[in-house]
């Protein structure tokens, strides 16, 4: 098959709202996109793949993996050597922000070289690429967000769950309104954040290594499956609560789900010994209360972003604005 002509595309970053860790065991996750993008453009010259915005030792690893998967699955060699990828929007003053730059890069690369494929198929291919790139640990919810955009619920199918999470069976998305079924997951992209809700992402200034945290939770699960399973079930139930609140456009119920999700994440950290909840997060949480807002880690915890969620129109506490980078998400 002749490779299609590459296109200029952009793919957004993402933030987890609810369902972290539990999504690996079949529970629902709730993710949303942010206004930070990876941009990929075809080049006319033949000077090789160009990565802008970051300097890494092996910039060709991801595009070559895209090329390999597309050849294996679709039968054509993608001309990744004539692409330029710009990831600079995922960095702030040289610091990498935890917005899913590798997932967005994967989606942008796949979309650029395979624009003729359906969005569903591009998701499946990007998921496969990213799983290989990460060593088989990710849920793919970040890939789904970057592929489909907006706010969506995500449920990983049993065969796609990494071990030892595969042995658990937390209930996934309940009655999706507009489901997209893929080989690896079911998605509900019909969700919208209520106008009465405000969400901001506060960069704590502490980078976290999500893969190592997931590995640690997996090891804790193998040692004490009953305790960890119960906490993961609690995290999943808070995600279902948040999904239901969005379907009802109930901002107050969604804020409550975020608050309870924060408590569940703290319980997971206390049980595993992981610093999922940091001192910085505790400070932001305390400041949030002064404006009737709540706070919760986004993603694996241990740093990166804290979500600040409250009623629309509520001010961001001045110490947070002064001391941290705040990225508006909604409202």
Written as tens digits, the pLDDT of the chain (331 aa) is: 777 889 999 999 999 999 999 999 999 999 999 999 999 999 987 778 999 998 888 999 999 999 999 999 999 999 899 999 999 999 988 888 999 999 999 999 999 999 999 999 999 999 999 999 988 778 999 999 999 999 999 999 999 998 889 888 898 888 888 899 999 999 999 999 999 999 999 999 887 778 889 999 999 988 878 899 999 999 999 999 999 999 999 999 999 999 999 999 999 999 999 999 999 999 999 999 999 999 999 999 998 999 999 999 889 999 999 999 999 999 9
What is the residue whose two structure tokens read 């909840």? Answer: 277
Q: Which domains does the chain have, with CATH numbers?
A: 9-191 (3.30.230.10), 197-330 (3.30.70.890)
Query: How far, in Å, CA of 171 to CA of 118, rounded?
Result: 28
**In the chain, which ranges are E strands?**
9-18, 28-42, 50-52, 83-86, 91-92, 95-96, 151-156, 180-181, 185-191, 197-203, 294-298, 305-311, 325-330
pLDDT at 136: 74
Tokens of 102: 């590798």
Query: How far, in Å, CA of 107 to CA of 102, rounded?
Result: 9
Query: How far, in Å, CA of 116 to CA of 90, rounded?
Result: 27
Nearest to 274 by CA among 236, 292, 301, 241: 301
Query: How far, in Å, CA of 275 to CA of 273, rounded?
Result: 7
Which pTM does this prediction carry? 0.95
Query: How far, in Å, CA of 205 to CA of 217, rounded?
Result: 23
Residues 128, 73 contacting (CB under 8 angstroms): yes
Tokens of 125: 């291919």
Nearest to 300 by CA among 211, 219, 236, 229: 211
Neighbour-count burial of 303, counting CB atoms closer than 10 A to its CB (0-12 exposed, 13-18 middle, 19+ buried)? buried
Long-range contacts of 2-7 (CB under 8 A, 24+ apart): 2/76, 3/76, 3/77, 3/78, 3/79, 3/113, 4/76, 4/113, 4/114, 4/115, 4/116, 5/42, 6/42, 6/78, 6/79, 6/82, 6/83, 6/112, 6/113, 6/115, 7/42, 7/111, 7/112, 7/115
Residues 130, 119 contacting (CB under 8 angstroms): no
Question: What 3-state class would DSSP assign to 7?
Answer: coil
Transcribe 117-186 into DSSP letters: S-HHHHHHHHHHHHHHHHTS---SHHHHHHHH-SEEEEEE-GGGSPTTGGG------SS-SS-EE-SSEE
Residues 36, 50 contacting (CB under 8 angstroms): no
Within 8 A by CB and 6+ apart from 59, the residues are 49, 51
């Amino acid at each position: 098959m002749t490779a299609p002509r590459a296109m200029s595309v952009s793919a957004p970053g993402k933030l987890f709202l609810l369902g972290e860790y539990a999504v690996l065991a079949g529970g629902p996750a709730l993710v949303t996109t942010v206004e930070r993008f990876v941009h990929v453009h075809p080049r006319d010259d033949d000077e090789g793949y160009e990565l802008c915005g970051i300097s890494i030792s092996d910039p060709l690893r991801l595009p070559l993996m895209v090329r390999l998967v597309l050849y294996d699955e679709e039968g054509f060699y993608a001309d990744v050597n004539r692409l330029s990828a710009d990831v600079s929007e995922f960095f702030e003053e040289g610091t990498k922000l935890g917005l899913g730059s590798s997932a967005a890069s994967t989606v942008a690369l796949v979309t650029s070289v395979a624009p003729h494929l359906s969005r569903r198929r591009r998701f499946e291919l990007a998921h496969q690429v990213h799983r290989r790139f990460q060593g088989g640990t990710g849920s793919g919810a970040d890939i789904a967000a970057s592929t489909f955009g907006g706010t969506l619920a995500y449920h990983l199918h049993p065969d796609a769950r990494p071990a030892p999470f595969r042995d658990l069976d937390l209930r996934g998305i309940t009655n999706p309104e507009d489901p997209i079924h893929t080989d690896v997951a079911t998605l509900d992209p019909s969700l919208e954040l209520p106008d009465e809700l405000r969400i901001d992402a506060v960069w704590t200034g502490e980078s976290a290594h999500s893969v190592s945290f997931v590995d640690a939770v997996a090891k804790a699960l193998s040692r004490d499956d009953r305790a960890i399973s119960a906490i993961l079930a609690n995290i999943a139930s808070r995600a279902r609560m948040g999904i239901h609140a969005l379907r009802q456009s109930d901002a107050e119920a969604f804020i409550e789900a975020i608050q309870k999700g924060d408590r569940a994440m703290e319980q997971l950290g206390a049980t595993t010994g992981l610093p999922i909840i940091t001192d910085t997060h505790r400070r932001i949480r305390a400041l949030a209360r002064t404006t009737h807002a709540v706070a919760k880690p986004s993603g694996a915890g241990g740093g990166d972003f804290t979500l600040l969620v409250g009623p629309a129109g509520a001010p961001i506490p001045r110490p947070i604005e002064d001391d941290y980078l705040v990225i508006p998400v909604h409202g």
